[in-house]
Amino acid sequence: MAIDPFSLFDEWFAEARASESGLPEAMSVATADASGQPSSRMVLLKDHGPDGFVFYTNVESDKGVQLAENPKAAILFHWKSLRRQVRIEGAVEPVTEEEADAYFSSRARDSQLGAWASDQSRPMDRRETFEHRFGEAEQRFEGQDVPRPAYWSGYRVTPHRIEFWTERPYRLHERRLFTREGSDWTEGLLYP
């Protein structure tokens, strides 16, 4: 029987959607700059499958700059209600322009306008500055579709390692590790 960590992820993700009170698609993405300095933040999973796990952001943000310098990332899902975690590590590449356009056009209009108004990760003198820039974006695109800014896109993390962690009493947790070898996956266990 072929080992398929993506089918297992689909099962767990469906269970998380049914049981999590918050956002089951919330994931921590850890990146590192060229010097190796790590950074982590929460983003939302927007697509997933055997080709990888996708999220969107401003490519000029800290994470975008770090991914340009060091195109690798680690992802962590924590579903407290299920007492489960999924850890993913892999190479990162930008999504296609078509994918970015399609997702951007599906976003709420205020989110689209916010992408135009925000210099993500850069210092801001006061909240009113951002609100003013948001108002300018509203006026600029009044009565028309909001196009995707050139600096806004997505990333796909193509995993080479996926760990499924299940909490057990007395810290005797279960850890299933899937490792990619070429186009195939091997499965093993890790001590808790």
DSSP 8-state code for residue 99: H
175 is catalytic: no
- Phi/psi at 145 (nearest 5 deg)? -65, 150
CA 78, distance to chain mean position in Å, is: 13
Q: Which long-range contacts (CB under 8 A, 24 or more apart) does 70-75 make?
A: 70/31, 70/32, 70/33, 70/34, 70/36, 72/31, 72/32, 73/29, 73/30, 73/31, 73/155, 73/157, 74/29, 74/30, 75/27, 75/28, 75/29, 75/30, 75/157
Core vs surface per residue 111-140: b (16+ CB within 10 A) or e: ebbbbbbbebeeeeeeeeeeeebeeebeee
Alpha carbons within 13 angstroms on the beta-carbon side of residue 175 total: 14
Looking at 168, 171, 175, 176, which residue is catalytic? Answer: 171
- The helix/strand/coil state of 143 is coil
Name the residues annotated as catalytic.
Answer: 171
